[in-house]
Amino acid sequence: MTKPVTLVFALSIFVAGCSGVEQRPSDSATARQLQINGVDLNYVEQGTGTPVVLIHGAIQDNRFWDSQREVVARKYRAIALNLRYHGSAPWPDEGKNYSAATHAADLVDFVRALNAGPVHLVGRSYGGNVVAIVALQHPELVRSVVLVEPLTASLIAGPEAKAVLNERNQSFGLIRAAAKNGDSTKATVLLSEWSNNQGPGSFELQSQASRSMALDNARTLPLLLAAPPPPPVYYAAPTAIINGYPAYLGQDGQWYYR
């Protein structure tokens, strides 16, 4: 049985311990752009106060955080960033620089460009690896870290680990094969159905907005699969890890978890 879980609930509890700010109505969202390392990065900003920078996962962009951003903005300056190559904007090149190291370097300079002091960093899945790299290499920029289902093998432990890793490797074999054959759409659907833990056909259960976001970012999946793996990461800043597979984003706009 599944039940709705609001990710921002865990986030709010965590960041509340770092900064006690009274709840207030949030400002309207504003789309902005900053040039970072010679590339224009798009982001959406809402609210005021201490920044909470939200980093999406693979085949996603800053739209993933729309619902959470609105709630976080009641207490904080919520900033949802598009990683380089993600979103629907034209690429600055053919994708040769796609890697966790590139995204981490962009995020470091983006946080510095905000000129607002240390920030709370929130990363989902692949974005969790990017956030963790930044927290390790530049702790002076980070107040706290929230990792939502980070793709870190070291977090998988216990007797069930082997079966979980075998299943993951088998699934990614199919995803890689589809991408290698030039079918990024099929690879994206397979990745979505694997990550939502619902199996074949579950992509169609997601909302139109969620499917559109994934398909808009299908072109990034071959880049991700070809990129060097991110380095092992350790967590120096205060860190919360939210684990568990999301079932799907329902028509009601809620993420459903097992």
Which pairing describes strands 77-81 and 51-55: parallel, antiparallel, or unpaired? parallel
Query: Rounded CA gap, 196 and 198, in Å?
Result: 6
Residues 6+ apart with CB under 8 A from 24: 74, 75
Q: How confident is the model at residue 15 (pLDDT cuts 50, 70, 90)?
A: low
Over residues 83-105, the pLDDT tens digits come to: 999 999 999 999 999 999 999 99
Query: Rounded CA gap, 65 and 124, in Å?
Result: 10
Give percent above pLDDT 90 in the chain.
58
Q: Does 226 or 240 have the greater pLDDT score?
A: 226
Integer-rounded Cα Rg, in Å, for the chain is: 17
What's the Cα-to-Cα distance from 187 to each of 96, 123, 150, 153, rounded to whole Å? 20, 23, 20, 22
Q: Residue 81 pLDDT more than 80? A: yes
Q: Specify burial of residue 176 (Cβ count, 10 A radius: 0-12, 13-18, 19+).
A: middle
Q: Residue 109 pLDDT more than 70? A: yes
Which range has highest mean pLDDT (58-72, 145-159, 190-204)? 58-72
Over residues 142-194, the pLDDT tens digits come to: 999 998 877 655 445 556 667 767 777 788 889 999 999 999 999 999 999 88
User: Where in the chain are the domains?
Assistant: 3-157+227-257
Q: Residue 8 pLDDT more than 50? A: no
Q: How confident is the model at residue 251 (pLDDT cuts 50, 70, 90)?
A: very low
Please give the pLDDT value at position 23: 59
The CATH class of 3-157+227-257 is alpha beta
Please give the pLDDT value at position 246: 41
Please give the pLDDT value at position 163: 72
Q: Residue 18 pLDDT more than 70? A: no
DSSP 121-137: EEEETHHHHHHHHHHHH
Please give the pLDDT value at position 233: 61
| Other Cβ atoms closer than 10 A to 36 | 19
